[in-house]
Amino acid sequence: MSRDVISDEAWAVIGPLFPSVKSTGRPPVDRRTVVEATAWRFRTGAPWRDVPERFGNWNTIYKNFNRWSGQGVWARVLEKTQSLAQRSGDLDWVASIDSTIVRVHQHGATLPRATGGYIELQEVGDEPPDHAIGRSRGGLTTKSHLVCDGKGRALAFVLTSGQTADTSMLTATLSEIRVPGARGRPRSLPDRVLADKGYPSKANRAWLRERGIAATIPERDDQITHRRKRRGRPIDFGEQQRARYRGRNVVERCFNKLKQWRGIAMRSDKTARNYYAGLCLAATLHWVGTLTT
């Protein structure tokens, strides 16, 4: 796949997943052109006004992107692409979770913000009051909480302000997983979750245990010391768990893949909704690349 063109093989997979063209009214912009222009914009991190003329009028491209973002189209396309992998038996349900912080460009921090709130997959049309922008040691930042499958492909995202603690977002992030299969309800629970020492709270372990999800999460040193002073069975993290934990690096590789797009590595979108849409497009093309090779 070149820098600004989606291959015919990739478009054959995702093209039918976008809204159909209306039969009445003004002639619509070609769907593939909108998707390729949007991919170009997020790959390069350029302003919308700098979208090359070969894609057509930049404002028309942006309006289509923004409308689909508000309607949740980009998120649904990602979901349907994941469904293709699930139906073919290609999806690995040993999930890994982590987060990454991205700096917010000054052009993306111009809207008034309130504190609190995060954007959810099922409520992608709503904008959180803080636009998922907060202040941390890195300045104005957004944090992307991501859970991926065992092959390093994104299953779900949650966006928060940069100072949000990882441990408080485990349940919210895992709750966003929704992968339809050939029949029945969409699958939402992985077989196992791998996570680092940012997630080993009692509440998280209890939530996973109640849903029958196996956990590979090491304890922090202070938790181990505290546990030794009390009765009870220690957390099992022997050789077998250590061997499983080595597979957690797939989530780091997933972040690395997504952040090759400059519009993802630094946020210049004013709304969390539109930045989320860019994440969905990048993740969709990552999935498609693994399905078509």
User: What are the pLDDT digits (tens) for 218-248?
Assistant: 876 666 566 666 665 566 677 888 899 999 9
Mean pLDDT of 28-54: 93
Which residues face 162 on adjacent strands?
none
- In this prediction, residue 123 carries a pLDDT of 41
Least confident of 111-115, 264-268, 287-291: 111-115
- Based on its alpha-carbon atoms, the radius of gyration of the chain, rounded to whole angstroms, reads 20
- In this prediction, residue 232 carries a pLDDT of 59
119 or 255: whose pLDDT is higher?
255
- Tell which residue, 183, 186, 209, 187, has the closest CA to residue 93: 187
SS3 24: coil
Write down the pTM of the prediction: 0.89
Structure-token pair, residue 18: 């976008």
SS3 7: coil
Taking 90 as the threshold, does the pLDDT of residue 125 lie above it? no
- Tell which residue, 46, 288, 84, has the closest CA to residue 182: 84
> Would you mind telling me the total number of residues written for the chain in this entry?
293
4 or 263: whose pLDDT is higher?
263
CA separation for the pair 172, 177 (Å, rounded): 10
- In this prediction, residue 153 carries a pLDDT of 97
CA separation for the pair 65, 73 (Å, rounded): 9
Contact 277, 74 (CB under 8 A): yes
Q: Which amino acid is at 40?
A: W
SS3 145: strand
Residue 81: other Cβ atoms inside 10 A: 23
